[in-house]
Structure formats: C-alpha cells, structure tokens
Amino acid sequence: MDTPEQFQEKCATVFHPELRKNKELERFRVSVKNENALTIIEALSALAQPTRLGVFRALVAVEPQAIPAGELARRSVVPQNTMSAHLAVLMRAGLVASERRGRSILYRASLPAFQALVTSLVRDCCDGRPELCAPLLSQFSPCHVSKGALP
Amino acid sequence: MDTPEQFQEKCATVFHPELRKNKELERFRVSVKNENALTIIEALSALAQPTRLGVFRALVAVEPQAIPAGELARRSVVPQNTMSAHLAVLMRAGLVASERRGRSILYRASLPAFQALVTSLVRDCCDGRPELCAPLLSQFSPCHVSKGALP
DNA sequence: TACATATATCCACTAATCTGGATATATGGA
DNA sequence: TCCATATATCCAGATTAGTGGATATATGTA
C-alpha cells in the first residue's frame, strides 16, 4: 500500500489529456486500446451508479480525512460485501485510495484523479474554444472570487 | 421537436445542484427516487461508453453545427441501428438534441446540459471548499487568460 | 404511385453489471 | 492459541447494457 503522497502522485499520472492531440476527430469512436480512453470511461462508469457516486461525494466532502469501509457500508445501507465490491470499482478507476489500519481499511477520495477526469471532460470545451469555456468557468466564480486564487 | 433555443432552455433546467443542500451526507446512497440524482447518473452512464463518448466529443467540437445520424454512424464505424440506439441514450440523458431535416436527423451537443453535469460534479469541490477548487480552476487558466473572460 | 434514402424500432443473443449469502483472509485481543 | 472483528473474495442469480440483422417508419424524387 502506497503512502498517501505516493498514491496521489500515482493518480496524477493516470490521466493524460492526449486524446485530442492525435486529431482522431475523423474517427471518433474512442479506441478501447487507448489506455487513457479506457480509464476515462472506467472513471465515468465508476461514478455512474448511485451508491458509488454517493460514496465518492462523501469522501470528497471529508477529504483529506478517510472513512473505513464498514462505515461506508453502514451509511450507504448496503451489505458489507456489496460495498467492498463497489469500492473495488472505485479503486480500479483510480478515484479512491485505501490504507489498512489494523482491522480496518480506510478509504479517501483521490482529488488529482477527479481533477484529471473533469479536465479531460472539459478539455472538449477549452481546446481552442474558449468562448465555450467561459460560461463554465463563470459557474465557479463565487468560489473563485472568495479566495482570489487567480494564478 | 423543439427549436434549438427551446431545447437549450429545457436542458438548462435538467440539473439542479440541490443534492448537497439537503445534507444527506449521513445517508449518502443517492436515492434513485431523486430525479436530479438519476439524471446525473444517466448522464455519466451515457458518456461511459467508447462510441458515445466519441460521438459527444465530436459534437462538442463542431458546436453549434450539427451532424446527421448516418454520418455519425459512418465515422464511428458502427452499424446505423447501433448508432441510433446510442444516440437514443444520449438523448435520454439530455446531452444531445436532434432535429429532422428532410430524410436526415441532425444531432448537436447540448452544452448547457454538459455544463450542468460538470457543475454538479465539481460542486463537490467548491461547496465550501474553495481550496479544493483552485487547483481545478488552474487547469483552465491558459484558456481563461487568453480571452480575459473573468466575469 | 413506386421506388429510394435515412433512420428509428424490433428482436434475440451475448456480455457485463449489480446484488447478497457464504466463505476466506487479515488483524486485534485475551 | 482461540475467538472476535473487519473486510475481501467467491459464487450464483437477476438485471441491464451492447450489438447487429431484420423490419418499420419518415421523407424525397421521378
């Protein structure tokens, strides 16, 4: 099991917004042989299920804290083994990280992976089309302005 | 069939970032009885398939232009009826709009719906947690700066 | 009206996903 | 060492998703 830092670095390398670099617009069925594409789809699939979306949201909400698997199961009101299966899906998609502490395994959200997913999706908007991006950015301006975090 | 403008307005009302308003963090299995949650999951599911993700990307790339169903099928290298089924999924998720012109049915991306999806996802980041949002925003700064579109 | 073109729908098959009881594995404590 | 606790894994059944041939429907043209 990686340290949290190591895991975060690993997740940061999962997604590479390279899809649009190879100009496959003429053949836009995303090839499943393309690692990046499969990972994006895997991540979308992982979140496209009620229990898993709820779990991911809860983990993001408490980040950088972690929640034990059993606790996630209880709060989701699903059997322990079902939650284990769900967490495995999120793990495989790189959206969560886990760490064993005694008898418990704690899970936390991987924000870099989430960031990469959103970036990959929004890339469609920004890539040479800033006029499409601006309305999207405006959604976050209350958050943005409040911290004056403009780089 | 709605006009493009009417359809865009309709899509803009599909997503409401209300989930986190009702403080269901203690019960974070997203209820399928909640319309908004089902739509988010439907949208994620719709994009979590290679052909459909590719189609959506292509449509976003040419927005506000539209592409006929047959053209989408040819360029995706899938049979016509398979593409029709995929487009139906995207339609049901509200991510695309269609309009018949003669024998063809043209499809275009619904950017408001896409925006709402991303907003809903990123809401997890921004909602009272701007320090989590800033790194995400920095991803778009090249795009942002180039147009000086800060609201 | 007949034929052509474009695309949705039907239908059936296969594969994948979800779910939960049962069991295996890992760790803690007496 | 034995028992308890936490959770992953196994297994099977039910459900859903993806796919493509065949057919139905909608529109265009002569």
Q: Where are the alpha helices (DSSP H) in chain A?
A: 4-12, 35-47, 50-62, 69-76, 80-92, 111-126, 130-138, 141-147
Residue B27 has a pLDDT of 41
Residue A39 has a pLDDT of 87
With a cut of 90, say whether residue B81 has pLDDT above it. yes
Indicate yes or no: CB of A44 within 8 angstroms of CB of B48.
yes
With a cut of 80, say whether residue A2 has pLDDT above it. no
Q: Does B57 touch chain A (CB under 8 A)?
A: yes
- Please write the tens of the pLDDT for every residue from B107-136: 999 988 998 898 888 876 666 566 666 666
Q: Does B139 touch chain A (CB under 8 A)?
A: yes
Q: What is the mean pLDDT of residues B62-91?
A: 96
- Please write the tens of the pLDDT for every residue from A13-45: 323 333 333 333 334 444 444 456 668 999 999
Q: Is A130 within 7 A of strand C by CB distance?
A: no
Higher pLDDT, B94 or B19: B94
Where exactly are the structural domains of chain B?
4-147
Task: Look at domain B4-147 and name its CATH class.
Answer: mainly alpha
pLDDT band at A10 (very low <50, low <70, confident <90, very high): very low
Mapped onto helix, strand or coil, the DSSP state of residue A21 is helix
Q: Which residues contact A99 (CB under 8 A, 6 or more apart)?
A: A1, A4, A66, A105, A106, A108
pLDDT band at A128 (very low <50, low <70, confident <90, very high): low
Higher pLDDT, A73 or A118: A73
Residue A67 has a pLDDT of 97
DSSP tally for chain B: helices H, then strands E: 8, 3
Higher pLDDT, A87 or B64: A87
